[in-house]
């Protein structure tokens, strides 16, 4: 912005020549940096998405450690410019029932393909508990309430979500005193397919010749 504003200044001013030399020097330095690294400077949107992902992963790590009252170390990559810190997070028990009862069962009961929820629990997963929808009927209910419609089928709706799995940290060599260091664990990002509800579909018919 400063270089652009000085382009329209009188050329006979001594400050004009000095400022233009600095602008040309800065532009050449940026071009050399781009050619050396092969990367353009990330825009603000990319940096915001990167910081948001890092904060979400670190928050999930702290939430898992707070259940057992332990301290964990959140480590970031060297390119982020952030340092890992140890922190202890205490959850308010009064808000936990709101998280557990977040599912609205009225929609599942009013649907023409009703379903219920079945919980899966894994100690080393974040989140530990995931609710899966399970269809209660094989067909779809009629609007008149006279039973199931044989021309339609009730099928679950699948959705892929991101989860974290806690895995042991790779073993390290013994230190000078002959003791093994406390390796702890790390978190590995993965995906899991979750059934979020049920819907009515037409049955697939295979023609036989």
Domains of the chain (ranges; CATH) run 1-41 (no CATH), 43-102 (no CATH), 104-201 (2.10.90.10)
CA distance linking residue 146 with residue 152, whole number of Å:
14
Spatial separation of the C-alpha atoms in residues 170 and 56, rounded to whole Å: 24
State residue 198's pLDDT score. 94
How far apart are alpha carbons 159 and 130 in whole angstroms?
12
Spatial contact of 126 and 166, defined as CB atoms under 8 Å apart:
yes
Instruction: State how far the Cα of 24 lies from the Cα of 102, in Å rounded to an integer.
Output: 59
Give the three-class secondary structure for 76: coil
Q: Is the pLDDT of residue 73 over 80?
A: no
Phi, psi of 79 (to 5 degrees): -70, -20
Q: Is the pTM of this model over 0.75?
A: no
Q: Which two tokens stand for residue 117?
A: 């929820």
pLDDT, mean of residues 53-77? 51
DSSP label of 174 = -
Q: Which of 164, 157, 158, 154 is nearest to 201 (CA)?
A: 154
Pairing mode, if any, of strands 148-168 and 115-121? unpaired
Dump pLDDT digits (tens) for 178-200.
665 566 778 788 889 999 999 99
Mean predicted confidence (pLDDT) in 107-119: 90
pLDDT in tens, 134-173: 999 999 998 887 788 888 999 999 999 888 888 887 776 6
208, pLDDT greater than 80 = no
């Amino acid at each position: 912005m400063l270089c652009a504003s000085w382009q329209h200044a009188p050329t006979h001013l001594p400050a004009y020549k000095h400022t233009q030399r600095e602008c040309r020097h800065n532009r050449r330095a940026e071009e050399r940096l781009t050619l050396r690294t092969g990367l353009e400077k990330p825009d603000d949107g990319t940096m915001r998405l990167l910081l948001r992902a890092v904060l979400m992963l670190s928050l999930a790590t702290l939430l898992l450690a707070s259940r057992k009252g332990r301290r964990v170390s959140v480590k970031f990559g060297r390119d982020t410019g952030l340092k890992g810190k140890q922190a202890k997070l205490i959850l308010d028990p009064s808000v936990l029932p709101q998280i557990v009862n977040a599912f609205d069962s009225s929609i599942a009961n009013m649907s023409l393909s009703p379903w219920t929820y079945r919980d899966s629990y894994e100690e080393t997963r974040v989140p530990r508990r995931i609710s899966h929808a399970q269809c209660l009927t094989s067909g779809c209910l009629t609007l008149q309430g006279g039973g199931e419609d044989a021309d339609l089928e009730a099928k679950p709706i699948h959705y892929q979500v991101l989860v974290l799995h806690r895995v042991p940290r790779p073993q390290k060599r013994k230190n000078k005193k002959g003791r093994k260091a406390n390796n702890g664990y790390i978190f590995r990002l993965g995906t899991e397919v979750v059934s979020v509800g049920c819907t009515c579909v037409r049955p697939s018919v295979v023609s036989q010749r």
